[in-house]
Amino acid sequence: MEIGGTYNSFNISSKGLSLQRKKMDIIAQNIANAESTRTENGDAYKRKSIKPIVIENSNKGTLPPQNQIRLSTTKPEHIMTVNKNMTISDNKSADLNLEVVEDKSMGELIFMPNHPDADQNGFVESSNVNIINEMVEMIEATRNYEANLKALNASKEMIKDSLEI
């Protein structure tokens, strides 16, 4: 069984850090435009979010049918499954692409007949950004970033300690 390289944990943590940083950028953009009633296309600002798309390499191993699994025993109470064909996907082969998705729902309609963006009935469509939801997502992204940073530091410490042996 092949399980990635020595620094595979660094790759996983760095992709997690990158994802959370991009998520924080989108959240900051949403908060900055929460009061925008007009964008370059003339509509109210629509909330944006990111949708990660993971494209995995096709050579990732799968479990073979049951008749191809061989059991190796040294003692009757120790049973280990051995599978020569199984590989765990190397994180370098998985590419992380992010798609920015715009929320198409309408914002709240506010009666403001003197506003320059008001329609013929005097209503202005506000942004569909909810500051409370954005702050909750920001806290979540911050904590996920911190967790990835701790995992990166733990990996670094384990490699450093293994070199001291």
Over residues 79-106, the pLDDT tens digits come to: 444 444 444 344 444 456 788 889 888 8
Q: State the residue range of the domain holding 88.
A: 2-163
- CB atoms closer than 10 angstroms to residue 30: 24
Long-range contacts formed by 78-82: CB under 8 A, 24+ apart:
82/1
* pLDDT at res. 65: 53
CA-based angle 152:155:157, to the nearest 5?
Answer: 110
Q: What is the CA radius of gyration of the chain?
A: 25
Q: Identify the weakest region by mean pLDDT among 21-35, 55-69, 113-127, 146-160.
A: 55-69
Q: Alpha carbon of 154 to those of 3, 22, 95, 149, 161: distances in Å?
A: 19, 23, 24, 9, 10
What pLDDT band is residue 24 in, cutting at 50, 70 and 90? very high
What's the rounded Cα separation, in Å, for the pair 58 and 84? 18
Please indicate, yes or no, whether the overall pTM of this predicted structure exceeds 0.75.
no
Number of domains making up the chain: 1
Over residues 120-136, the pLDDT tens digits come to: 899 988 899 999 999 99
Instruction: Say if residue 146's pLDDT is above 90.
Output: yes
Higher pLDDT, 62 or 25: 25
* pLDDT at res. 83: 42
